[in-house]
Chain A
């Protein structure tokens, strides 16, 4: 595989969720912080699909937003093709900014209802000065064609399209600045399965054609398995396991990954008995000490309660768990 396009190093994000100042004074409360992302490291190689999975509140979308710069990181670095995203400003930043785009979850909210579809798609073209006038209109037509709509649709408004078609428009907009890297935050979770299949197929075709790199965020493990080359599993803002795509499903290493896979209802009806999962995700304002997963972990030891495990190489990638140290890989 080729070199890394995105490198995320020691990424942290804390949100201040304190009550207003006066309430804090009267009620004698401390400031409260929610750690949404804690010390996350990963890299995305050129041309691959890297997926982040996790339950709600695990920090998937927060990471996605930090990678495209929609929210700043509390600490840590994100390198795009070797250039750090924080500290780069002006023309340099603009040059980088053109090279990545984002597709959002809800195609009903991500398209401006007052704009023609053509204008929506042309906006990045104009912003980055890639083309103008008839040339831009021409490109919009081609983009619509690429995503399976017709060039005539440029004159319509978003409300004239169904959810799947709107997601196609969102994809066309993402492609219009000719990016190399696209962050997809739950791109199909608002869609029906048959439409989801159309969009997933389209995304893979575009990747083959244009050599795109994807950061793919989803809570749906079967979708992730279908799309991703490599997968990172998040739990309470911590990356507990990173592994090659299909191997993760064959031999999950971290107990949380194992639990997550056991919980997925299976269409193949293999007759396996699902292990009942204990408990729910704890409150991220007061995460458990040591390994964040220890209250729900079937193999938790005393050590897990006091010490946070470090990443450790596994046959299929890496995982952060003390139990893996006991049984040498």
Chain B
């Protein structure tokens, strides 16, 4: 495997509130290697987007990183001053948000927004920046880029806007792109185009991608590895094919079974009882224990840490600890 590009260790994100501190992300660790696509999945409230926001330093106050380390190529970035973080954001880590309408400024033309990003991060002249911007738009598949660059965001359709946002994220040739639900606001036929584009652009430039989504289909087609989050904790991480076809964590297994597919025939979908706990009432021990069908005594008292499994997989579940003890 290639070098570790981004390493997240024991990340804790907290929100102080009047009724005490809410821990939204609780000791999450993972690595992203250069050039790979890491999928991050989970249901709403699992902490997917917060993980992305914490990495790029865009946590909304009062949210804060309360523990752990984030390293980009070995260099710590979680404790940088705002000025230092600004140099990394956009330059070394690009970001694609869910809603392409809100991530573009409606009052500026596409040209102004793209050249601003390029000029901020690269030592080029205005003329060169504009040429670069046109080349980028052309590359992300905007027809007649040289003419359309002077249009405003509202002149573009949703899919085209998301292409512009991708061009913006890649403008300074970052090493890592964090894509937070990049296709959720789009129709299926357009969704496929955007996924292909993100994949192509990143493999062309050797950039790694952290793809945050709730859509397992998108992950299955795009990611190399996938991390499954539950209630702000890492449930399972591993190669995408293994995790989807042979999930080991009971939550992942339930999640996969609950998704209707285009090929399988079954009358009923697998059903995980209950719902994900609120941050105010995360159960003691393993956060999944009230909904788990294989729960035993230890799950109620002790929280499982991710356990290394064959094939480069990690699973945070006591079932596998027991197995190892028996061997």
Contact = CB atoms under 8 A, between A and B. Distances in A.
B216 A193 contact: yes
Given A197-B258, A221-B262, A269-B221, 15 more contacts: A55-B189, A194-B271, A197-B259, A200-B260, A201-B268, A204-B267, A260-B189, A263-B191, A264-B188, A264-B192, A265-B215, A265-B218, A267-B261, A269-B244, A274-B192
A238 to B, nearest CB: 16
B291 to A, nearest CB: 9
A137 B276 CA distance: 31
B275 A219 contact: no
A129 to B, nearest CB: 36
Interface stretch (A42-50, A77-85, A276-284): A276-284
A144 to B, nearest CB: 17
Nearest to B46: A192
Interface in A178-206: 192-198, 200-201, 204
B189 A277 contact: yes
Contact of A281 (B187, B259, B264): B187
A177 to B, nearest CB: 27
Interface string B245-269: 1000000001111111111110111
A40 B187 CA distance: 22
Contacts, number: 124
Nearest to A256: B189
B214 interface: yes
Interface of A: 55-56, 162, 164-165, 192-198, 200-201, 204, 219, 221-223, 225-226, 246, 249, 259-270, 274, 276-277, 280-281
A280 B263 contact: no
Contact of B263 (A162, A197, A268, A281): A268
A276 B190 CA distance: 9
Contacts of A265: 191-192, 195, 215, 217-218, 220-222
Q: List 10 A-B pairs, minimum CB-CB distance, nearest first.
A: A265-B217, A197-B258, A226-B260, A192-B43, A55-B187, A197-B269, A263-B192, A222-B260, A277-B189, A265-B221
B275 A164 contact: yes
Contact of B272 (A194, A225, A263, A281): A194
12 contacts: A55-B189, A196-B258, A197-B257, A198-B272, A200-B269, A226-B260, A262-B192, A264-B217, A266-B262, A267-B220, A267-B261, A268-B261
A221 B188 contact: yes
Given A267-B217, A269-B220, A194 B189 contact: no
Contacts of A226: 260, 269
A194 B258 contact: yes
Contacts of B264: 268
Contact of B193 (A261, A267, A276): A276
B143 to A, nearest CB: 10
Given A221-B188, A259-B189, A270 B263 contact: yes
A193 B215 CA distance: 9
B192 A276 contact: yes
Contact of B255 (A162, A193, A225): A193
Contacts of B189: 55, 259-260, 263, 277, 280
B232 to A, nearest CB: 15
Contacts of B222: 265
A262 B241 CA distance: 20
Nearest to B257: A197
A296 B269 CA distance: 35
B159 interface: yes
B262 A194 contact: no
Most buried by A among B159, B240, B275: B275
A194 B255 contact: yes
Interface string B220-240: 111000000000000000001
A192 B44 contact: yes
Given A164-B275, A195-B275, A267-B217, A280 B190 contact: yes
B157 interface: yes
B262 A268 contact: yes
B272 to A, nearest CB: 5
Contact of A263 (B188, B216, B256): B188
A274 B190 CA distance: 12
Contacts of B276: 192
Nearest to A227: B260
Nearest to B188: A263
A260 B245 CA distance: 24
Nearest to B215: A265
Nearest to A221: B262
Interface string B109-151: 0000000000000000000000000000000000000000000
Contacts of A221: 188, 262
B270 interface: yes
B196 interface: yes
Interface in B253-305: 254-265, 267-272, 275-276
B188 A280 contact: no
A222 B192 contact: no
Given A195-B275, A201-B271, A265-B218, A277 B193 contact: yes
Nearest to A296: B189
Nearest to B268: A201
A144 B188 CA distance: 35
A225 B262 CA distance: 7
Given A225-B260, A266-B220, A266-B262, A197 B271 contact: yes
A190 to B, nearest CB: 10
Nearest to B265: A246
Contacts of B275: 162, 164-165, 194-195
A264 B262 CA distance: 9
Contacts of B240: 269
Given A198-B271, A265-B221, A276 B196 contact: yes
Interface in B43-61: 43-44
A195 B255 CA distance: 10
